[in-house]
A = this chain, B = another copy of it.
Amino acid sequence: MRNLLKEIIEKIKNSKSFLITAHVSLEGDALGSELATYALLRKLKKRVVIYNNDHTPPIYKFLPHSGVIKNVLKEDKFDVAIVLDCSDSSRTGRVKDYLARAKCIINIDHHISNTFFGDINLVDSKASSACQILYRLCDKIEIMDKNIALCLYTGIFTDTGNFTYTNTTKETHRIVANLMHYGVSPRLIYENVHSLCEDKDLKLIGKIISHLKFDASRRICWAIINKWKDKDYDLTEVIFSIMRLLKNVEVLILFKKVDKNKIRVNFRSRPTVDVNRIAQFFGGGGHKSASGTTIEGELAQAERKVISFVKRYTNKLK
């Protein structure tokens, strides 16, 4: 049996220049695993570049070395490309062109849909996060410090929904215990990732929540926002996190008027309902428990159409 950790360590030790990347739509696990890998390789005195298709969301700029991440690239030759939290190389966006030019691709990921596109594929779909897998590498190579610990903690924390999703295991907590030994502050990371709302935004959210709508069965709940402006942080997630406090509701929907005649519709669900199928019906997509689509037309009309479909869809499941 191949010892993948050993192979990766050998490859790292025998190589000089590294390209690090992750998937488009960067979040905690993508950025945490990239920056932990960066800090690890810098400790080994390697030449390292992090190159991403997308810009770093402001809420993750507290992560150490986040300033080194590039969105344009001059160099184009690397000994090794390390691709993190990516099910497929095309999920790296325009970085894909650079991957082909690296002598070796190391693919470190936890998606069940991973296509094993690397020369070395360290893939474990049972791991909560890419950061959880990366910890095993740091542990084996015996390199850890406060910065690496903070990055790994952030990836694990965000991908497990604060250690509450079903992907949270004994290993997850054991790793986090070890990371905390290096002085990681859970409170600080929580506040950086979650405590982001401006006063007036939270008041607006309060108003939206006070006008929630429900179907007769109380299994479907939706909120409507007449004027939507994108923020530095993700208000959609904040609103859903509050709607999740509801008992027994199975489908959560958010209608946002993003432009004249343009309605963005987001869906979230408990495991009983596949909202990917619902979004697909309206030309969108996503995951089983989180999806979205954009509908042309008036807000009231979009609401009527979607709710009527969701009612029929959930009734069929009974």
Contact = CB atoms under 8 A, between A and B. Distances in A.
A287 interface: no
A254 to B, nearest CB: 14
Interface in A192-223: 194-199, 202-212, 214, 218, 221
Contacts of A177: 170-174, 177
Contacts of A202: 209, 212, 242-243, 245-246
Nearest to A199: B214
Nearest to A197: B245
A238 interface: yes
Given A173-B174, A174-B174, A176-B173, A203 B210 contact: yes
Contact of A194 (B187, B245, B271): B245
B199 A212 contact: yes
A155 to B, nearest CB: 15
A208 B242 CA distance: 14
Nearest to A221: B199
B246 A238 contact: no
A68 interface: no
Given A170-B180, A209-B209, A186 B164 contact: yes
A240 interface: no
Contacts of A209: 202-203, 205-206, 209-210
7 contacts: A164-B187, A170-B180, A174-B177, A199-B214, A206-B209, A206-B242, A241-B245
